[in-house]
A and B are shown apart, each in its own frame.
Chain A
Amino acid sequence: MKKFLLPIILLLTPSLLFAAGASTQLEGGFKMGPAIILITILCVFVLVGIVFRAKDTTDFYAAGRSISRVGSGMAIASNWMSAASFLGMAALMYGTGYHGLAYVVGWTGGYVLLLILMAGQIRKYGKYTAADFIGDRYYSQGLRAVGAIIAILISISYCVGQFGGIGIMFKWILGIDYALAVIIGGSVVLVYTLISGMLGVTKNMQIQYVIIIVSFLIPLFILTFKFDYFWLLPQIGYGSVVSDIVSGVPIAETTQMFNSFGHEYAMVPAPEYAMPWDSATGQTFFQWIAIAFSLMIGTAGLPHVIQRFYVVPKARDARWSVVWGLFFISILYWSAPVYAAFGKILSANPEVGKLAKDAIVVYTAQLGGVNPLIVGLLAAGGVSAAFSTVSGLLVAGSSAFAHDLYVKIINPKASPKMQLLMARLGTVLMAVIVTLLALKNWALIAQLVAVAFSLAGVTIFPLFLLGIWWSGSNKQGAIAGLIAGLLVAVIALTYFIAGKEGVTLPYYEFVNYWLGAWYFAWIGAPLAILTNIVVSKLTPETPLEIRKFLVLNVHS
Chain B
Amino acid sequence: MDTNQNDYHISFFKPTTAMAKWNRNLAIKLILVWAVAVFGFHFLLRAIEKPTPEDAYVKYEKVWENISTENASVEEMQTFAHTSLSVLGKVFIKPNEKATLCNAVSWVTYQLADSLEKNLLVDKTRELEKIISEIAAISEPAYINAKKSLSQVTSSILGLQQSDPRRLILSLSLTSTEMDSFKDVNKEMIPAIMSTYLIHNQSFLTDFVFLGFPFHYFYTAVFLLVLFVFLCWLYCYRVDQKYAELGIEE
| Residues of A that sit less than 8 Å from B by CB | 1-2, 5-6, 9-10, 12-18, 21-22, 25, 95-98, 101, 104-105, 108-109, 111-113, 115-117, 120, 124, 230, 235-240, 242-243, 245-246, 248-253, 261-264, 266-282, 285, 288-289, 292-293, 314-316, 319-320, 322-323, 326-327, 330, 333-334, 337, 344, 348-351, 469-472, 544, 547-548, 550-552, 554-556
Contact = CB atoms under 8 A, between A and B. Distances in A.
B109 to A, nearest CB: 13
7 contacts: A12-B177, A105-B225, A251-B162, A268-B90, A270-B89, A319-B239, A472-B11
A326 B176 CA distance: 55
Interface string B139-152: 10000000000000
Main DSSP-derived SS at the A contact region: helix
A19 to B, nearest CB: 9
Interface stretch (B61-69, B70-78, B94-102, B110-118): B94-102
A251 B167 CA distance: 9
Interface residues of B, number: 94
Enumerate the 3 nearest inter-chain pairs by beta-carbon distance, A residue then B residue, closest first: A239-B212, A268-B89, A239-B213
Contacts of A101: 217, 220-221
B196 A279 contact: yes
A316 to B, nearest CB: 5
Contact of A115 (B185, B199, B201, B236): B236
Contact of B172 (A15, A109, A326): A15
Contacts, number: 278
Contact of B201 (A21, A273, A276, A326): A276
Given A9-B178, A316-B240, A117 B27 contact: yes
Contacts of B190: none
A408 to B, nearest CB: 25
Contacts of A323: 229, 232-233, 236
Interface in B28-85: 30-31, 34, 38-39, 42, 45-46, 49, 54, 56, 85
B191 interface: no
Contact of A268 (B139, B169, B176, B236): B169
A333 B129 contact: no
A248 to B, nearest CB: 6
B156 interface: no
Main DSSP-derived SS at the B contact region: helix
Contacts of B121: none
A555 B209 CA distance: 47
Nearest to B150: A14
Interface in B162-176: 162-169, 171-176
A15 B102 contact: yes
Contact of B128 (A14, A248, A471): A14
B18 interface: no
B146 to A, nearest CB: 10
Contact of B42 (A22, A261, A288): A288
A303 B25 CA distance: 28
B196 A97 contact: no
Given A12-B177, A268-B85, A471 B220 contact: no
B30 A14 contact: no
Nearest to A93: B221
